[in-house]
Amino acid sequence: MKSQIKTTFSNFFFEYETPRQVLVKNKRVAVVCRIIQMGVLAYIIGWVFMYEKGYQVVDTAIGSIFTKMKGVSFTNISKKERIWDVADYVFPEQGDSSFVVMTNYIVTVGQKQGKCAELPDGKNKCNSDADCDEGKYKRMGNGHMTGRCMNETSTCEIYSWCPVEDDRKIPDPPVLLTAENYTLFIKNSITFRQFNVVRSNLVESVNQSYINTCLYHPKTDPLCPIFRLGDIVERSGLNFSEIARVGGAIGVLIDWDCNLDLSIRHCKPKYEFYGLYGTGKNGDKEEKPSLGYNFRYAKYYVEDAVEKRTLMKVFGVRIDIIVHGRAGKFDIIPTLTAIGSGVGIFGVATVVCDMLLLYLVPKRDFYKNMKFKHTQILEEKPDLPQSKTERDLPKE
Amino acid sequence: MKSQIKTTFSNFFFEYETPRQVLVKNKRVAVVCRIIQMGVLAYIIGWVFMYEKGYQVVDTAIGSIFTKMKGVSFTNISKKERIWDVADYVFPEQGDSSFVVMTNYIVTVGQKQGKCAELPDGKNKCNSDADCDEGKYKRMGNGHMTGRCMNETSTCEIYSWCPVEDDRKIPDPPVLLTAENYTLFIKNSITFRQFNVVRSNLVESVNQSYINTCLYHPKTDPLCPIFRLGDIVERSGLNFSEIARVGGAIGVLIDWDCNLDLSIRHCKPKYEFYGLYGTGKNGDKEEKPSLGYNFRYAKYYVEDAVEKRTLMKVFGVRIDIIVHGRAGKFDIIPTLTAIGSGVGIFGVATVVCDMLLLYLVPKRDFYKNMKFKHTQILEEKPDLPQSKTERDLPKE
Amino acid sequence: MKSQIKTTFSNFFFEYETPRQVLVKNKRVAVVCRIIQMGVLAYIIGWVFMYEKGYQVVDTAIGSIFTKMKGVSFTNISKKERIWDVADYVFPEQGDSSFVVMTNYIVTVGQKQGKCAELPDGKNKCNSDADCDEGKYKRMGNGHMTGRCMNETSTCEIYSWCPVEDDRKIPDPPVLLTAENYTLFIKNSITFRQFNVVRSNLVESVNQSYINTCLYHPKTDPLCPIFRLGDIVERSGLNFSEIARVGGAIGVLIDWDCNLDLSIRHCKPKYEFYGLYGTGKNGDKEEKPSLGYNFRYAKYYVEDAVEKRTLMKVFGVRIDIIVHGRAGKFDIIPTLTAIGSGVGIFGVATVVCDMLLLYLVPKRDFYKNMKFKHTQILEEKPDLPQSKTERDLPKE
């Protein structure tokens, strides 16, 4: 018993099995087969390994963004000169990855709580008091109806912040058209956790003196982290004067595609710009509702013991900065998985060739007998030596 | 030499090797084997290819979100009528993907820098001045202790914004319970970089006139981008009046699962709602500490040359809008990888059948001899023809 | 015809093919082959299955974060005592995942629109009016030039918010150095959509009484969701007093790595801290431009019917909280893919051994003839039995 285990064990270690094969000398099948095999090999080496870098394990980046706008605008509205700086036109102020640069606005000064007529903008018409349900609120309205229909405006009286904002006419040209010349500075830090790599968009070639003077340009200054607002809008395929008037949203994509098998210095960001929902490229208004971008905010104050507010309807360029990072590095697992998968596909090549050989070639029966050995005759006849010869060497 | 290379080369191209196989006529093993193989085939075709779409390469979306609330509330607190509109109750104002709708608040008017007693809320008791370390700050306290213990309140005197906010009693019912009827408009734009596809949640069937009147409903209006706040809360499994009182956080998930092999028109968003940390579904308070959602903010002003502020403790519904996008498209690499992997699993089927054949079937030794050819006798004995017969056809 | 199909069908079901193999009794090749095969097996079982958990399907988390700072600071600047609480020093106020804690500031009180001299900080020098283009704006300037060069400061006169902010000297030590003792409370909720699992960082062992007293420490309290600001900064490798002075950005990573085949209770967060772009670890200032973090914001007010503002240049610690979640769960597809791939790699092992056998071993021609059966002689000579013997059993 013991010696039997020993034999089995030594057999296992001192002999190995390898498949017996037929070398088929059929030019047509062989050439087809070799071409398929070389195609598979070329695909595995060329495409999977070299082009798609199948030998690399991939990690996606975790990114952080800090932004800073620079620039001032000067306006002269009804002889009132005014300068606008960063603290005036950026929302929110703390340098988020998503922010709005005000380019146009409608201001309603000195609103206070009270009763006044709804805005006669066509959506809130009334003919009699019956059209104005007391205490109700209309979806397009600005306040709670008191139940009266005002004769002067043909709209319901409402309890609201009065006077009601009149946003029927958007200033054209936009008040802060010079916003085009503002500059945006982006700091972006990314982390590839799996590879323990931290990287900033201020790469080696971007030093302080370069930052002081550069301006992003896709050809000449592709790594400069300072962007002109007008350039961002134009490169996203939108028109600045139109977007400045009604507002719009722009995506700035910082794209990192790093091969960490090379030096980290080659790991550089690429900036891309595209319009998000604004006035579209094709200008097809039926397909793209809700153009523009705006929001309201209020500054509150107390005057003569009455709480008042200045309401601003702000139109502007909303910038959403998005980081998309991907790094690859050689790793044994994806390499072996790709090889294993490739060997599997090699098997497919053999299966295809065998089908050709066994079903399409004229001498297919001969090849079938070369390839296959049958067992059933043996089970019936006990005179093995002879039957064996018969099976293995068919008389065709 | 040259001719030898030529021969090797022509041999390589004009002949191909295919494994020799035994056709085993054993019904039981054969049936088991075929069942396993067909299972593998069914798995590869049915599951990997059709259900999991293993022939597709997958990309995840980059999303941008813009939100806009609509609606007004009317309150009448101690005979003071007040209207609340968007500029009053949304934080922050510029339409972020994460924002808070105020539903309840505690206001402390006219705070100014000075000395006053700490709030007697049980956490800040003192018996003598010794309990109040001068210049220290307690974790639950509102300011720096001056070193005195106040008799009236049995709490330390502190240097702070005075009077100290008293947030022991949260208004019930919540002040802005009508927030339930506010509507939320969501604009969502997604980009699948790999496929160069940009898509908005305002899909083909959502035009301007539809937006003007629709309201989201999972069955009847699943694509309407306008949501009633009360509906969002209820659908997330929470109770509006409770969440309105103490605050809570809701996740709104915009889920895109697109098959880009079909028309882009079928790529539509699905909206889902779930409670984030608020008053939980099971109501098990031991397991879920820190219920509610609130934050403080201050409005500063100057009165009689003294800086003052109005402090608001805001309770509200915090909405976090999250985009989860995934698109698949046919690609040759995952297809071949899936096939290659499948062929590999086919190999496993053969291995299992061979084990059955060689170890479990009664005639296993016969099959062993059919399958395997030995080499060792050859190495010892030079009379090959005879030994060969012996080996190949054992007399058992 | 019908019976022929029946035969083919029954043949298909009642017989199966298995490759014929040679058992090679060559110790050296066999041992090499077994070692390679066992290496592959060990790799598949040990590495792919156990270490990398290749049998699991993986989902990444969708996360939501809510933050709350606590703590007060006391300052005494030019004999003016002042207390700073959360509403004063956190931007924005509503508890976002990315926020700024003010630690230092430069305040410019009472700015109003008007004409004044540009700041003489060396970047805006002028010698004569010719250096100051009327109506132009300098990249480093604060307003529109009026065309005059001021003698007193040797800088251009500008139309701006006057007086211009003087940020040449940053307060040192920072005004709010005690910010070190502020605490940050983080609520984090994650969702693994694929597995329908929702999880909060307030795990089972973190109950209300624990939260009331605990403070995060990587060794003793790794699950406490309350962090001391000073600790966060120190653990990220930065120096608090330096970062407090000029500002800096810190990433707080909440890392979830969950094995959902185990109990959900083992799915716990891990907190990590790292500096984002601030004063770097290596202190190499040439490599890391744009140190520090600051932004400006303004509080507007009306005094004597003139609009004025108080401008704050805020330096602070910016905290970016990032969630990185990954959960794995057993699934049949990755399991079979890994097995299939592994079988493929097994095939590679056989190929390597065959190469050894057929090209390197001395008796290679003998083994070649054992493994391969040729077809070309057959095609030429009709006397099969004899030729077969010749081919199969070479005389070496």
Q: Is A336 helix (H, G, I), strand (E, B) or coil?
A: helix
Cα B5 to Cα B8, B9, B12, B370, C155, distances in angstroms: 5, 6, 10, 36, 85
Q: Residue B179 has which token pair?
A: 């927030």
DSSP string across C105-157:
EEEEEEEEEEEEEPP-SSSSB-SSGGGS-TT-B-TT-SSEEEEEEETTTTEEE
- Shortest alpha-carbon distance between residue B342 and chain C (Å): 6
pLDDT of residue A395: 40
Which of C180, C192, C225 lies closest to C73, judged by CA?
A: C180
Three-point CA angle B234, B236, B239, nearest 5° = 40
pLDDT in tens, B138-194: 777 788 888 888 888 888 899 999 999 998 889 988 999 999 999 999 999 888 888
Quote ipTM for the complex.
0.80
Percent of chain A with pLDDT over 90: 28
Specify the pairing of strand A21-24 against strand C56-60. Answer: unpaired
Q: Residue A146 has which token pair?
A: 């008191």
Q: Is B142 helix (H, G, I), strand (E, B) or coil?
A: coil
Which of A109, A175, A83 lies closest to C111, judged by CA?
A: A83
In angstroms, the CA C227 to CA C231 distance is 7
* Cβ-based contacts of B12 with chain A (< 8 Å): 34
Q: How many CB atoms are located within 10 Å of the residue A197 CB?
A: 17
Binding residues of C for ATP: 68-70, 183, 294-296, 313
Nearest to C25 among B23, B288, B375 (CB): B375
| Contacts of residue C49, Cβ cutoff 8 Å, sequence gap at least 6 | C55, C338
- Shortest alpha-carbon distance between residue A289 and chain B (Å): 5
A19 close to C (CB below 8 A) = yes
Cβ-defined contact of B30 to C14 (cutoff 8 Å): yes
Closest-approach residue (CA) in chain B for A141: B71
Mean pLDDT is lowest, of A217-231, B248-262, C51-65, for C51-65
In angstroms, the CA C99 to CA C249 distance is 10
Q: Is A143 helix (H, G, I), strand (E, B) or coil?
A: coil
Q: Which of residues 92-151 of A touch C (CB under 8 A)?
A: 92-97
In angstroms, the CA B245 to CA B316 distance is 8
Closest-approach residue (CA) in chain C for B348: C343
Task: For an interface test with A, give the residue of B94, B181, B380 to mutate (most A CBs within 10 A).
Answer: B94
Mean pLDDT over residues C74-85, rounded?
Answer: 87
Containing C23, the helix (H) or strand (E) segment is strand C21-24
Provide the β-strand partners of residue C363: none
Residues of chain B with pLDDT under 50: 278-290, 377-396
Phi-psi category of residue C46: left, alpha or beta, with phi > 0 → left and psi -120 to 50 → alpha: alpha
Mean pLDDT over residues C359-388, rounded?
Answer: 63
B83 close to A (CB below 8 A) = yes
A362 close to C (CB below 8 A) = no
pLDDT in tens, C275-317: 886 433 343 443 443 468 899 989 888 888 888 899 999 999 9
Helix ranges restricted to H, A318-375: 332-355, 364-371
pLDDT of residue A28: 82
Provide the β-strand partners of residue A98: A320
C205 close to A (CB below 8 A) = no
pLDDT of residue C1: 65
Closest-approach residue (CA) in chain C for A14: C27
pLDDT of residue B385: 43
Mean pLDDT is lowest, of A41-55, A99-113, B179-193, B372-386, for B372-386
pLDDT at A44 over 60: yes
pLDDT in tens, A258-303: 999 999 889 999 999 988 864 333 334 434 434 688 999 898 888 8
Q: How confident is the model at residue C392 (pLDDT cuts 50, 70, 90)?
A: very low
Q: Establish whether A201 is an annotated binding residue.
A: no
pLDDT of residue A277: 65
Which of C99, C101, C150 lies closest to C129, judged by CA?
A: C150
pLDDT in tens, C172-213: 889 999 999 999 999 998 888 888 888 888 888 888 888 888
Cα A310 to Cα B92, C9, C307, distances in angstroms: 17, 87, 12
Q: How confident is the model at residue C152 (pLDDT cuts 50, 70, 90)?
A: confident
In angstroms, the CA C109 to CA C78 distance is 15
Task: Count the helix, strand and coil residues of chain C and give each as a percent rounded to the nearest 5.
Answer: 30, 35, 30
Q: Is B340 helix (H, G, I), strand (E, B) or coil?
A: helix
Name which residue leads in pLDDT, A245 or A356. Answer: A245
In angstroms, the CA B81 to CA B75 distance is 6
In angstroms, the CA B286 to CA C115 distance is 63
Place of tokens 């790094």: A327
Mean pLDDT is lowest, of A162-171, C155-164, C345-354, for C345-354
Size of interface B-C (CB pairs under 8 A): 215
Cβ-defined contact of A20 to C372 (cutoff 8 Å): yes
- Shortest alpha-carbon distance between residue C131 and chain B (Å): 40
Containing C11, the helix (H) or strand (E) segment is helix C2-14
Q: How many CB atoms are located within 10 Å of the residue B306 CB?
A: 11
In angstroms, the CA C65 to CA C190 distance is 9
pLDDT at A212 over 90: no
Nearest to C322 among A62, A81, A343 (CB): A62
Q: How confident is the model at residue A63 (pLDDT cuts 50, 70, 90)?
A: confident
Place of tokens 């494994």: B19
In angstroms, the CA B298 to CA C86 distance is 9
Nearest to A251 among B64, B373, B375 (CB): B64
Which of C214, C186, C191 lies closest to C201, judged by CA?
A: C186
Q: Is B126 helix (H, G, I), strand (E, B) or coil?
A: coil
Which of C73, C93, C92 lies closest to C83, judged by CA?
A: C73
* Cβ-based contacts of A18 with chain B (< 8 Å): none
What is the end-to-end Cα distance of chain C in Å, rounded?
50
pLDDT in tens, A126-182: 888 888 888 777 777 788 888 888 888 888 899 999 999 998 889 988 999 999 999
Q: Which of residues 325-344 of A touch C (CB under 8 A)?
A: 333, 336-337, 339-344
* Cβ-based contacts of A189 with chain C (< 8 Å): 249, 251, 276-277
pLDDT of residue A375: 67
pLDDT of residue C380: 41
Q: How many CB atoms are located within 10 Å of the residue A172 CB?
A: 12
Instruction: State residue A253 phi and psi, 5-degree precision.
Output: -105, 125
Cβ-defined contact of A277 to B66 (cutoff 8 Å): yes
pLDDT of residue B129: 85
Going through chain B in order, the beta strands assigned E by DSSP cover 16-19, 21-24, 56-60, 62-70, 73-77, 80-84, 90-91, 98-117, 144-150, 155-162, 183-192, 197-200, 226-228, 248-259, 269-275, 294-303, 306-330, 372-374
B28 close to A (CB below 8 A) = no
Specify the pairing of strand C372-374 against strand A21-24. Answer: parallel
Mean pLDDT is lowest, of B314-328, C243-257, C342-356, for C342-356
- Shortest alpha-carbon distance between residue B118 and chain A (Å): 29
Place of tokens 């709350």: C68
Contacts for B214-218: CB closer than 8 Å, 24+ residues apart: B215/B183, B216/B271, B218/B271
Q: Are B19 and C19 in contact (CB under 8 A)?
A: yes
Which of B188, B185, B180 lies closest to B270, judged by CA?
A: B188
* Cβ-based contacts of C228 with chain B (< 8 Å): none
- Shortest alpha-carbon distance between residue C289 and chain A (Å): 5
Cβ-defined contact of B143 to C85 (cutoff 8 Å): yes
| Contacts of residue C85, Cβ cutoff 8 Å, sequence gap at least 6 | B142, B143, B160, B161, C71, C72
Q: Is A73 helix (H, G, I), strand (E, B) or coil?
A: strand
Q: Are C48 and B259 in contact (CB under 8 A)?
A: no
Q: Are A226 and A212 in contact (CB under 8 A)?
A: no
Residue B66 one-letter amino acid: F
Q: Which of residues 154-183 of B touch C (CB under 8 A)?
A: 159-161
* Cβ-based contacts of A86 with chain C (< 8 Å): 296
